[in-house]
Structure 1
Amino acid sequence: MIPTQGLMAGLVTSEGFHHTETGQYGRFLRVVAQWERRRLGGGHGGGWVGGMVPAHTLALSTDAHLTLVLPDLTHQGFQAKSVIDGLTGDQAIQVSALVGRYHGTVVAYKLVTATDLQTAFPQCFNVASTDSPVFTVFSKTGFERLRQEWDGKDTYTPLLDKLMLYESLVPEFIVSNLLPQEPFATALHGDLQPSNLFFRCTDDGDTEIKVIDWATARYSHGPLDLIYLLNMGLETQVRRQVTEEAKDAYFTAFNAALRELGAGMSYPRSAFDTAYLLGRQLIVLWSIMSVNLFFTHPTLTSRLHAIIADVLLDPSVPPPSLS
């Protein structure tokens, strides 16, 4: 165990977690934020990335874990919502735009500086493995529970056959489709749930947003962060109402970052749509792997079931394949 510093003085955490949060990903965020600030030449204050990351990235906000909520956030009036409550529609759109801006900034940084992120920031990004218990044990028990809960229910029974296609491909489908596709692969947060998002209204009516808990960062398709946010972080009806607006906000902000930071290219809508479609297939599996975690919470269980059903019933989402 090692002590933290600054506003976190007197608290301790594991050395491994500390190095991931402040040593690896913390360094990456600081480098990108400093580059963006210089590139903007004083525009947008201290930069978008610098504005969204607290001074100390070392923080968890859930009661179920070691809780290190940053004093400077709560003392300054920032508040987070619970996963059960979910974000409001306006909050989801605001975060979607911010995340799009962040993802576009990372792409611009690596293109302009010719930086290979995975080489320049070793041990910063999680890499999926087919033998991970998350993709084996969690998925197996999730499918078993879902079959028990859906069997004999007229609404869900027709979907069980569709689920078999997903079950037969785990974990290879997940691992192969998390591989980054250049040139628009970017740095994902990996866990954009409400408890990791802090909001504060400013005196002029704007909203400030801080994002914490970067320990599950991944180098992959940006829209996967957006998909996770909209599905895991919103009540079902809110998700259905704001999805298209949130997608547009993300896409517009991504391209604004590329343009303003001189990346020399734009993110094609076709590439975004392809990655987003893949994300919808993956969210079926993320949801199934979460079923056993949330089965005691009716609200979250209902949300997970709705996510899975909405994708399986959508004719625009093809069955998963490894081709």
Structure 2
Amino acid sequence: MEVKNLKELLDKHIGDSNKIISYQTSNLLSSGENYGSILLRIQIKYQNKNGEEENADWVAKIAPPIPFLWEFFNIPVTFKKEVGVYKVIQPTLNEFGREKGIDNLIEIFAKYNGSRVSLNPNTQDVDRDAVLLMDNLKIAGFESKDRFVGFDYDCTKLLLHDLATLHASVIAFKLAKPNEFKRKILPYLSKDFFFDAGDEQLRHFMETLKGVAVRANPACAEHLPKVEERFLKIVQLYKSEVPPREPWATFIHGDLWVNNVLLKFENGKPVKHKMIDFQLIEYNSPANDVLFLLYSSVELSLLEKHVDEFLKMYHGYFIETLQKLDCDTAQFSYDSFLEECRKVVWEIQLAHLTFMHIPIFTQKGEGQDVSEFGSWTTADIEANIRRMHPVCGQKLQFIIMDFVKRGWL
């Protein structure tokens, strides 16, 4: 992919005293690893103010060139939201943390290096020349986990801690500074992604996945009508204007699974993580992020034993953060959190988890390239199901049976 006037953009953001010598771009990800954008690696050679040669390794995030994906992800709106996470939301929360005596309250976002919405200096509208520049996290030692395996116990613990910190920090800021919250953060958390597909495609997809689940565990067959009922209402659910429930409503990522998390390890243990891809952020229940992260991306063997522990772990970190930020925790009991979990499963997460089995469990190297997307057809569904990793059925049947056990389905 070519980025127009890239050198001009790099010159603007490399630093006033630095001068670009050369740069080269390459694809950062293989086909099928990301559809909401194109990620390019930019290797930059520049001269610093002392005349010395240095290197920088950045990532350029640009919109997918396909009209179907441009509309599907509502790029004109979601691109600006993602830039706002780096330029506004993170600095605002960290300033709030410093006021409470906490340095670097939120450290889970990549370093922002600059952006543009268009080559036209007289517009604020996002067009095909929009670019977001960030540090290349992989060069800094961060790595992705295998999505067919998922996160181990230590990784899950770290992620739940950081996720709880983010969710609770936004809530504490909202309660402490409601006017600033409405002005600085809430505008970026509008619901702007609306999944849309025809009934024929949805039914075909559901019938195919039902077969995958039943082959993995025939006992889940009796519960599949309820799963189908919720899945077939996915369009209405995504388009609904149900107001977020207070006081739990906060910044949610909306798509937090293996590919949107990078971890840094020391001596084999995870010590830091970075969260990426903020196109689907919105103001909603934190239970959405927690359940989607756990059930989509944690090792199945751990889920079979530790879901309750993980939920309690998240809630403990959440309360701890609220207390550090001088926020009254009386409204945020564990029972109240579990009720949020039950509600979001019924409202959206059952359908969300079911649908996301396609990108999560498509065999590596066999996903569709973005250039192949022109619609969402039954042929696409069948092709993707044939590419599924064997663990897909095991994960899907576990989700169904565990939700039944918990009274969430």
Which residue number corresponds to residue 47 of structure 2?
Answer: none
Instruction: Please tell me the residue identity of whatever aligns with 1:313.
Output: V
The aligned runs of 1:90-109 (5 Å cut-off) are 90-109=154-173
- Do residues 115 (structure 1) and 179 (structure 2) align? yes
Q: Which moved more, 1:295-304 or 1:187-196?
A: 295-304
SS in 1 for 2:144: coil
Q: Distance in 2 between matches of 1:174 and 1:264?
A: 32
Instruction: Indicate the SS of the match to 1:207.
Output: strand
Amino acid of the structure 1 residue aligned with 2:407 = V
- For 1:103 and 1:300, how far apart are their aligned partners in 2? 31
2:397 to 263, 286, 306: 306
1:37 aligns with 2:98: yes
Q: Is the 8 A contact 1:79 1:198 kept in 2?
A: yes
Answer yes or no: is 1:54 the counterpart of 2:115: no
Q: Is 2:137 aligned against 1:73?
A: yes
Q: Call closer, same or farther: CA 1:277–1:11 in 2, change over 3 Å.
A: closer
Corresponding residue of 2:325: 261
Task: After TM superposition, give the deviation of residue 164 of structure 1 in Å.
Answer: 4.3
Aligned to 1:275: 340
Q: Whole-Å Cα distance in 2 between the matches of residues 318 and 73 of structure 1?
A: 37
Higher relative strand content: 2
Q: After TM superposition, give the deviation of residue 159 of structure 1 in Å.
A: 2.4
TM-score calculated relative to the size of structure 1: 0.78
Structure 1 residue 311 displacement after superposition: 3.8
Q: Show the 5 A alignment for 1:1-323.
A: 3=9, 5-6=13-14, 11=60, 13-14=62-63, 16=76, 18-23=79-84, 26-39=87-100, 41=101, 43=102, 46-49=103-106, 51-56=107-112, 71-115=135-179, 117=181, 120-121=184-185, 124-127=188-191, 132-133=195-196, 139-149=202-212, 154-167=218-231, 169-173=233-237, 179-202=243-266, 207-266=271-330, 267-281=332-346, 282-293=348-359, 294=362, 295=385, 296-311=387-402, 313-314=404-405, 316-319=406-409
SS in 1 for 2:227: helix
The whole-number CA distance in structure 1 between the counterparts of 2:114 and 2:292 is: 22
Report if the CA contact (8 A) 2:165-2:318 is conserved.
yes
Q: Secondary structure at the match of 1:115?
A: helix
**Residue 301 of structure 1, CA deviation:** 1.9
* Partner secondary structure for residue 191 of structure 2: coil
Aligned equivalent of 2:366: none
Deviation at 1:136, TM superposition (A): 6.2
In structure 2, what residue type is equivalent to 1:30? P
The CA distance in 2 between the partners of 1:303 and 1:221, in whole Å, is 27
Q: Which has the higher contact order (CA 8 A, sep 6+)?
A: 1
- What amino acid sits opposite 1:317 in the alignment? G
CA-based RMSD of the aligned residues comes to 3.6
SS of the counterpart of 1:54?
A: coil
| Structure 1 spans left out of the alignment, 5+ residues | 60-67
Sort the Cα spacing of 1:298 and 1:34 in 2 relative to 1 into closer, same or farther, 3 A.
Answer: same
1:289 to partner: Cα distance: 1.9
More displaced stretch, 3-12 vs 271-280: 3-12
Percent identity of paired positions between Structure 1 and Structure 2: 16
Distance in 1, Cα, partners of 2:190 & 2:86: 11
Q: Deviation at 1:173?
A: 4.7
How far apart in 2 are the matches of 1:108 and 1:246? 22
Indicate the structure (1 or 2) with the bigger Cα radius of gyration: 2
